[in-house]
Amino acid sequence: GPLTGKIAYIDLGQMHAMQDGSGYGPQTRVRGLGPAAAQDKGAVAFLIRSVGSDENRMPHTGTTRYVDGHQTIPSFAVSAPDADQISRLIEWGETVRVHLSSTARTYQTTSQNVVGEITGKTHPEQVIVLGSHMDSWDLGTGAIDDGAGGAITVAAAKAIADSGRRPARTLRVIFYGSEEVSQPTPQTGNGGGVYARGQGAALDKHIIAGESDFGADRVYALRLPAGAQGSDFQKAATRVLYPIGVLASDRVETEGGVDVGPMGPLGVPFFGLAQDGTRYFDLHHTANDTLDKIDPAQLNQNVAAWAGLLWLIADSDVDFRAMKPVTPATP
């Protein structure tokens, strides 16, 4: 092929930091599928400008994808300043030589989901899921991805437990295992897929699920299932959350998140407490993902938003599945 014996190099330009993190998706698709495509053209290795929004020299790791049985090649991310330099040299017509060395390896191991709950007082079978994931990339400590999510969801449940009033419905906090290795689906062995499959008919009694997996910066919007747009529930939730800076959103929550996502096709509605992700892709999947990056005041605001919203849902009989989207009147 045209790349026989060469290193494939891709520089998509610097990723832009966005509040909703939307700059990340398009570049990760290239990172994920690029190595297999490069290998098909004869490349011996794959090198990409790190998919992150920072300008320091900490490259971001992340998954790559191969169709089963496809041969793999060593794949690397290079930090933004180093990518700038390589691209500059290529532009000048220099022959670029790169020395690569990797300690990465794949192996089989077993992960676990960790589940704790406050059992509902009058409707214990009605479950609300608060999700996050326990695994992380090993460059940093996984403080923002996703230690923060575990801390936020468990602290929200604890705030409700400490109030001395037990809610009518069950609050189930799940630390999912094995999120980072691939995206869970109802068929995969990730924690999210295994949980959804294992629940069987009990999923019909899952009222709603949400996930915290976007760092610890402040929550700015509440997203609800389509049927809840304009509902009395949305009005009540907005009254509770507005004083801490969380506004109602007309964007419908359809995904939930990577870990709770597999419950969606099986009928479970989702909520989303959208966080400010402007800093998230400066840090995530790098050696800089450490506890000192977490702002305690913003972390507390997350806990307050989760606790306030979850109390409203857990101690009510609101039925998100029964709420049908309001059809706009025809003019």
259 contributes a contact to Zn ion by CB under 5 A: no
Q: Which pairs count as long-range contacts for 230-238, CB under 8 Å and 24+ apart, including other chains? A: 230/326, 231/323, 233/312, 233/316, 233/318, 233/323, 236/312, 237/308, 237/309, 237/312
Segment lying near Zn ion (by CB under 5 A), choices 12-20, 46-54, 207-215, 220-228: 207-215
Amino acid identity of residue 114, one-letter, is V
Structure-block tokens of residue 151 = 């801390």
Q: Is 307 helix (H, G, I), strand (E, B) or coil?
A: helix
Which range binds Zn ion by CB under 5 A, 9-17, 29-37, 85-93, 139-147?
139-147
Residues in the chain: 331
**At closest approach, how far in Å is the CB of 142 from Zn ion?**
8
Nearer to Zn ion, 145 or 253 (CB): 145
Q: Among the candidate windows 59-67, 107-115, 205-213, 316-324, which touches Zn ion by CB under 5 A?
A: 205-213
Q: Which two tokens stand for residue 141?
A: 């400590």
Site for Zn ion in 210-229 (CB under 5 A): 213
Is the Cβ of residue 18 or residue 226 nearer to Zn ion in the bound state? 18
3-class DSSP state of 210: strand
Q: CB neighbours (10 Å) of residue 209? A: 27
> At closest approach, how far in Å is the CB of 30 from Zn ion?
20
145 binds Zn ion (CB under 5 A): yes
- Using a 10 angstrom Cβ sphere, with 0-12 exposed, 13-18 middle and 19 or more buried, the burial of residue 6 is middle
Nearer to Zn ion, 144 or 268 (CB): 144
Catalytic residue among 91, 94, 179, 253: 179
Number of residues engaging Zn ion in binding (CB under 5 A): 3
The answer to the question of residue 135 lying near Zn ion (CB under 5 A) is no
Q: Is 55 marked active-site?
A: no
Q: How far is the CB of 53 from Zn ion (least distance, A)?
A: 16
Q: Is 191 helix (H, G, I), strand (E, B) or coil?
A: helix
- Nearest CA to 38 among 69, 1, 90, 79? 1
Residue 146 touching Zn ion (CB under 5 A): yes
Q: For residues 146 and 217, which CB has a smaller minimum distance to Zn ion in the complex?
A: 146
Q: What's the burial of 284, exposed, middle or buried (CB within 10 Å: 0-12/13-18/19+)? A: buried
- Least separation in angstroms between CB 145 and Zn ion: 4
Supply the residues annotated as catalytic: 179
Which residues of the shown chain bind Zn ion in the complex (CB under 5 A)? 145-146, 213
